[in-house]
């Protein structure tokens, strides 16, 4: 497939889209190499918390120099992504129409510290065998300090908890559910108000005045012994109703990890409108995580409901075999249209985790949404859950049980 250098610029531009997933600091940018093999290495540019690009200067089996381009996705201390091997260029007479960017293979980089990493690769091209190589930092930005995100401070899996009743607003306590990913980050949502046995509904068109469920993203910040300090961002889950902010809350808290089976996190109160809340390791009563999970298990149509003022609206997730993701709102008069479009994947499928990113097709200037998904089995049936945000608005999908 022929492309131009503009495609490389697009790769970099994509790095500036919002992501809720914490990653490497920009101070990790610089030149990295293996001292035992001085003469080749890679130049890394961390462009956003979840995105980086790198140029890998290496040689082929005949000793000829090869320049590879890495489009990296960051998740905590881990970088992964496809590698491209451009060809077709001619020195002094460059013709963009002749440039080709075939996929060379796949790269993973695990950063053990601010100055050490492990590079591993696989290639689909002949003459390049799979392998791995330790890297150390050769250059860095002068005067900049480096602090990496904590490495796996919490065990991955289902968590649950409660929001305390709020005496000021008169709101009752509510149940919250979530999942911790491989980087110790919790993604959660408000399931139900304890005064009402039914689940809280997701706001849709014509929704006015009712209580929207909250979504949570809790990022670990520091680890000291069995205590983990963390910051919780809390969003109103109304991405499919109103794309502007109603209320974004941020509050610090602490996780206490006495043992793998005894973990508790306490946060808040976040504001006069939201009481203190706490989380505990383990599934909510009656829930069971489906793990491992692969795309084939979620391929197809998943229905859910959006709440309206006078009647509810149908909505659906459409997931393709290639990981394409379409969220239909069901109220714009075009049944096959996508309100939100993007991709879903299972890089941590062994943990029962899905990862998604979508953009609002009707409002392309808005920051994209990203987050986590998972499947649970319960007496209700099997549900597919998506929880994420775009930095100002929360996105929540709870599909109808199958």
Per-residue pLDDT tens digits of the chain, which is 402 residues long:
334 333 443 333 333 333 333 457 888 899 999 998 888 899 999 987 778 999 999 888 888 888 899 998 887 788 988 999 888 777 777 777 777 888 999 999 988 888 899 999 999 888 888 899 999 999 877 666 677 766 667 889 999 999 998 765 556 789 999 999 988 899 999 998 877 767 788 877 766 666 788 999 998 887 777 888 899 999 988 888 776 666 789 999 999 987 667 899 999 887 777 889 999 999 999 999 999 999 999 999 999 988 877 778 889 999 999 999 999 976 554 545 888 999 999 988 989 999 999 998 878 778 889 999 999 999 989 999 999 998 889 999 999 887
Coil vs helix vs strand at 256: strand
Quote the distance between the C-alpha of residue 326 and its chain's center. 17
Q: Note the pLDDT of residue 336.
A: 59
Q: Note the pLDDT of residue 143.
A: 63
Q: Note the pLDDT of residue 15.
A: 35
What is the fold of 5-137? Lipocalin (2.40.128)
Domain ranges for the chain: 5-137, 150-402
The DSSP output letter for 88 is -
Strands (E), 9-90: 30-33, 41-48, 51-59, 65-75, 78-84
Distance CA 111, CA 9 (A): 25
Tokens of 259: 């043992």
**Integer CA distances (angstroms), 264 to 163, 253, 268, 287, in order:** 14, 11, 14, 19
Helix (H) / strand (E) element for 278: namely: strand 277-281
Q: Note the pLDDT of residue 55.
A: 94
Q: Note the pLDDT of residue 14.
A: 34
Q: Note the pLDDT of residue 391.
A: 87
Calculate the CA dihedral of residues 397, 398, 399, 401 and round it to 10 degrees.
Answer: 170
Q: Note the pLDDT of residue 8.
A: 41
Distance CA 316, CA 16 (A): 29
pTM here?
Answer: 0.67
Q: Note the pLDDT of residue 45.
A: 92
């Amino acid at each position: 497939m022929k492309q131009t250098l503009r495609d490389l610029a697009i790769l970099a531009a994509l790095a500036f889209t919002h992501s809720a997933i914490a990653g490497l600091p920009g101070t990790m940018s610089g030149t990295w190499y293996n001292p035992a093999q001085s003469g080749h290495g890679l130049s890394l540019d961390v462009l956003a918390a979840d995105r980086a690009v790198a140029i890998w200067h290496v040689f082929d089996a005949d000793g000829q120099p090869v320049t590879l381009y890495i489009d990296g996705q960051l998740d905590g201390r881990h970088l992964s992504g496809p590698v491209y091997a451009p060809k077709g260029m001619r020195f002094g007479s460059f013709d963009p129409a002749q440039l080709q960017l075939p996929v060379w293979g796949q790269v993973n980089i695990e950063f053990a510290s601010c100055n050490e990493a492990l590079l591993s690769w696989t290639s689909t091209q002949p003459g390049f065998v799979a392998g791995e190589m330790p890297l150390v930092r050769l250059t860095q930005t002068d005067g900049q300090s480096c602090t990496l995100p904590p490495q796996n401070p919490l065990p991955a899996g289902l968590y649950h908890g409660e929001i305390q009743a709020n005496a000021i607003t008169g709101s009752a306590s509510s149940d919250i559910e979530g999942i911790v990913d491989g980087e110790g980050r919790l993604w959660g949502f408000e399931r139900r108000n304890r005064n009402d046995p039914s689940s809280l509904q997701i706001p849709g068109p014509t929704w006015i005045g009712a209580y929207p469920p909250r979504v949570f993203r809790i990022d670990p910040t520091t680890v000291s012994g069995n205590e983990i300090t963390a910051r919780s961002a809390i969003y109103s889950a109304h991405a499919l109703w109103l794309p502007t902010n109603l209320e974004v809350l941020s509050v610090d808290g602490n996780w206490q990890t006495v043992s793998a089976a005894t973990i508790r996190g306490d946060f808040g109160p976040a504001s006069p409108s939201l009481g203190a809340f706490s989380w505990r390791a383990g599934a909510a009563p009656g829930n069971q995580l489906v793990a491992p999970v692969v795309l084939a298990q979620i391929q197809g149509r998943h229905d859910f409901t959006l709440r309206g003022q006078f009647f509810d609206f149908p909505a659906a997730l459409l997931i393709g075999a290639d990981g394409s993701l379409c969220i239909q709102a069901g109220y714009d008069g075009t049944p096959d249209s996508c309100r939100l479009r993007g991709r879903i994947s299972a890089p941590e499928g062994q943990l029962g985790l899905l990862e998604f990113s979508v953009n609002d097709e009707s409002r392309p200037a808005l920051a994209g949404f990203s987050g986590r998904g998972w499947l649970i089995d319960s007496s209700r049936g099997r549900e597919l859950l998506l929880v994420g945000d775009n930095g100002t608005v929360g996105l929540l999908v709870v599909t109808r049980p199958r």
